[in-house]
Amino acid sequence: MGGPRDNKMDSQLVSLCAFLCLSALPAAAQLQTAQISGANLPKGTLVLTFDDGPDEFQFEGGNQTLQIAALLAEPPAPLAPIVGTFFLNACHFIGAPPPSGLSANCHTNHGNIPTSLIGQLRALGHTVANHGEDHVPGDYLQDAGLIYEITNPLTLLAGPEQPHMLFRPAGFEWDQRIASAAQRNRLARTETGPFFADFIGSGYIGANWIQGDWDCFRQGYGYQACGDLYLEEIQQSDHGGIILIHDRSPYRLAGQQTFLMLQYMLGQLGSESFAPLESLLGVRKAVGLSRQSSEFGTTDGFGDIVFGRIAGGFAATPCKSRADGIWCMEYSGNEFRPARRWFEFSSQFGLAPGQTFWLADLDGTGKAGLAWEQSDGIMFAPSTYDASSGGQFHAPRMVLPYSDAYGWRQSTGYEIRFGRFDRSGRESLLVRDKTGMRVFLSSGAGLALAFASGQFADAEGWGGAANPLRVGDIDGDGIDDICARGPNGVSCATVTAAGIGQVSLYTVPNGPFSDAEGWAAGPAASSSFALADIFGQGRKVPAGRIGAEVVFAASANQSFAGEQQLLDTLPTDPTGQAFPADATQWQTAPVYFADIDGDGQDEAVWMLPGGLWFGLTQIVLAPQPD
């Protein structure tokens, strides 16, 4: 950006943010005084956390931290992939400063683990979290040492978890003095926690009291005996909770015992449900900085806005049908550019004003092209975008000629969706009709039937405008899954390389997103139902607008939690200049979820009469109110 106008705009935006961003943050610091336990989790819901890693001893040639991370990503049947939280000590990594004199965990094999392990944990779908620099309990430290312990790992561990890195203090040492020191520090304030644990593997073996897994192995017990202590704690509790396991084994006797113990425990816990640690937190997704375009409002052009990564990268560009073609509005340098026509209608291609269209990367270029349905098949025009010359949807071709083999012409209606249904890097076609679903994988040259499922069929009560299919990756495996909102709640089928899995209800019956909770009340409610990446971690969750509220439900293992409010209040403009004063406009506007700024996290976007509005958002995690 350059020029005086832009600079003025920047300073206006900055002052807007200074007002909105600060006022949107809760008053309390994110590292609160009381430690956060899992005592509010229902019985049968467990959270897995791992402390003191990475495993710098690597006995028997393997790093237990990585072995555990891989096991969670592919746990024994019937468990689905589990998200673990790894509370790491920065001192174990190559390049870490020499351990402090007080360090208990970093004197041996100090700094011998490559930092690439951090990315490996994330690639396996896990959360990387902060357990302090040198594992020095806070009781031993004055304020300066405390702040060093809490904040020094942030640079090393930096990743998508920022700016709300989860924190657990060494030895759970946390009190009013330590909390206030943390709350006074700018960097420490960006962290979230502290997190406690509910199940630590303590109990009696015979007459012998075991303090936890580390003590169990130190005393020479085997992995089954040590695992049974956790299972007893879990069984005897009247609630669910956070499990703490140490993935670092300082006792040579232990070897790979921690890994074996977890494997054993997962085998015994097949019917439990595992949730990520973040599900303990409420999310306030404050509208930090609202942006607007005067184009693409309700009265501009026809029909819905369609978002797609037409310019590559993560940013989703809004496109809309106008009288003469498909227009798209790129976002760059903190604002929308004027909309440009990316595709001109002409009679030969069979795409008319207001006709439904999709944006999909059928050829695997990383840029979504334009797809639509012609009388005799599915058409596709790739995106020619490059940063210097812009782009358009160019050279339409037919990618799936219709025969009537599937009886679509007689169907009362069929739905077309595009998504990633294999690991080719290309998006593919999903069609739902009265008999169920079919996936046509893209070869780049065209689409061909790959697998089918009788689920989400009309006979099972699906179909029609009331519960359209939504496509998105809900389990974080890189392949899109399929969900729909029905009378009882949200049902989903995960998709893997093997095909479409069983449809099951992912929410509590007649709970979140159900008709009983008001989701059948009006077209705005059901049509705003979407899958959105609220956390920016590559896993989508249900989201939508019900009345004036924009809500979502956090992801758990093969289920979604209760509805939580995404926005405290509708966006307001402190200067009173640009935002519509009429609140009912906001409450009736179509709401979309799309990653406008390409930061990997979806924004909420409203289509209002005067144009397109959205809030660039910041996630603020806070403990769930009781």
Residue 364 phi/psi, 5-degree rounding, is: 70, 30
Q: Which of 541, 537, 525 is nearest to 492 (CA)?
A: 541
Ranges within 298-317 binding Zn ion (CB under 5 A):
none
Tell me whether residue 51 or residue 213 sits nearer to Zn ion (CB atom): 51
Exposed/middle/buried for 180, CB within 10 Å: 0-12, 13-18, 19+?
A: middle
| Shortest reach from residue 30's CB to Zn ion, in Å | 21
User: Which CB atom, from 171 or from 538, has the smaller least distance to Zn ion?
Assistant: 171
What whole-number distance in Å separates Cα of residue 575 and Cα of residue 613? 16
The conformation of residue 302, written as its DSSP 8-state character, comes to: E
Listed in sequence order, the residues at least 6 apart from 56 whose beta carbon sits closer than 8 Å to its beta carbon are 92, 108, 109, 110, 112, 113, 248
Nearer to Zn ion, 52 or 56 (CB): 52
Nearest distance, CB of residue 203 and Zn ion, angstroms: 19
- Of 248 and 426, which CB lies nearer to Zn ion in the complex structure? 248
- Name the closest residue to Zn ion (Cβ): 51
Only one residue has tokens 């358009």, namely 392
What minimum distance in Å lies between the beta carbon of 254 and Zn ion?
16
- How many residues of this chain bind Zn ion (CB under 5 A)? 2
Residue nearer to Zn ion on the CB measure, 213 or 330: 213
Q: How many CB atoms lie within 10 A of CB 311?
A: 22
Of residues 193 and 301, the one with the C-beta less far from Zn ion? 193
CB 201 within 8 Å of CB 226: yes
- The nearer residue to Zn ion, 249 or 292, going by C-beta atoms, is 249
- β-pairing, 281-293 vs 302-308, is unpaired
Query: Which amino acid, one-letter code, is at 527?
Result: S
Per-residue tokens: 60: 């028997």
Minimum distance from residue 192 beta carbon to Zn ion (Å): 18
Smallest distance, Zn ion to C-beta of residue 87, A: 7
Residues numbered 36-55 forming contacts with Zn ion, rule: CB under 5 A: 51-52
Footprint (CB under 5 A) of Zn ion, residues 357-376: none
Nearer to Zn ion, 51 or 300 (CB): 51
CB of 168 to Zn ion, least distance (A): 7
Q: How far is the CB of 122 from Zn ion (least distance, A)?
A: 21
Residue 215 in contact with Zn ion, rule: CB under 5 A = no
Residue 261 per-residue DSSP state: H
**Which CB, 107 or 184, lies closer to Zn ion?**
107
β-pairing, 193-195 vs 31-36, is: parallel
Q: Match 């003095």 to its residue by tokens.
A: 177
* Shortest spacing between CB 96 and Zn ion, in angstroms: 16
CB contact set of 139 (below 8 Å; sequence gap of 6+): 173
- Classify each residue of 342-351 as buried b or exposed e, where b means 16 or more C-beta atoms within 10 Å of its C-beta: bbebeeeebb
Cis peptide before 137 (omega within 30 of 0): no
CA distance 231 to 268: 8
**145 or 598, CB closer to Zn ion?**
145
Give the shortest CB-170-to-Zn ion separation in angstroms. Answer: 5
Tell which positions 51-90 bind Zn ion, by CB under 5 A.
51-52
Backbone angles phi and psi of 292, in degrees to 5: -145, 150
**Shortest distance (Å) from residue 132 CB to Zn ion:** 8
What tokens does 441 get? 């994988």
- Binding residues vs Zn ion (CB under 5 A): 51-52
